[in-house]
Amino acid sequence: MVSDPANATQAPPAAPQVKPGGEPQDQPANELESGYLVICWDDPVNLMQYVTHVFQTVFGWPKAKAETHMLEVHNQGQSVLIREGLEKAEFYVHQLQQYHLHATMERDGK
């Protein structure tokens, strides 16, 4: 990630987008269901402030939590953003990739 000069502040989350042909599920992930991790990977091009903003927008996180995950990406090369079932993990990856973040979903080995 690329550092940026502006100080980031908390932004209210945008309305969640609806994936084609369906609606985002409101139920919490079934803990017995096989889990998938949504991971954001570091890259040299996305601005740190941009990444923070996208996390706030896609997940509705407060700024502090979004910045924590952004710094994990920046310093550790990756950050596990969320653990969900298959459908919802795909939904979030689609959302993140619409913003052109380097994000993927991987099966949770646990």
Partner 1 sequence: MRFFQASPDAFSFEFNQREKDWLFQVLELYPLIPAGHHRLSRQPATLGNEHQAWLEESLAAHREEARRKLRQFMTNPGNFPADGDGFRWTASRADLEWMLQVLNDVRVGSWLALGSPDLQAAKFTMPTPETRAHYLVMDIAGGLETIFIAALSGELPTPRDDAPAPL
Told to check if 76 binds partner 1 by CB under 8 A, we report no
Listed in sequence order, the residues at least 6 apart from 10 whose beta carbon sits closer than 8 Å to its beta carbon are: 56, 62, 63, 64
Q: How far is the CB of 45 from partner 1 (least distance, A)?
A: 4
Binding status of residue 90 toward partner 1 by CB under 8 A: yes
Closest distance to partner 1 from the beta carbon of 28 (Å): 22
- The total number of residues written for the chain in this structure: 110
7 binds partner 1 (CB under 8 A): yes
Instruction: Verify binding: residue 105, partner 1, rule CB under 8 A.
Output: yes
DSSP 77-88: SEEEEEEE-HHH
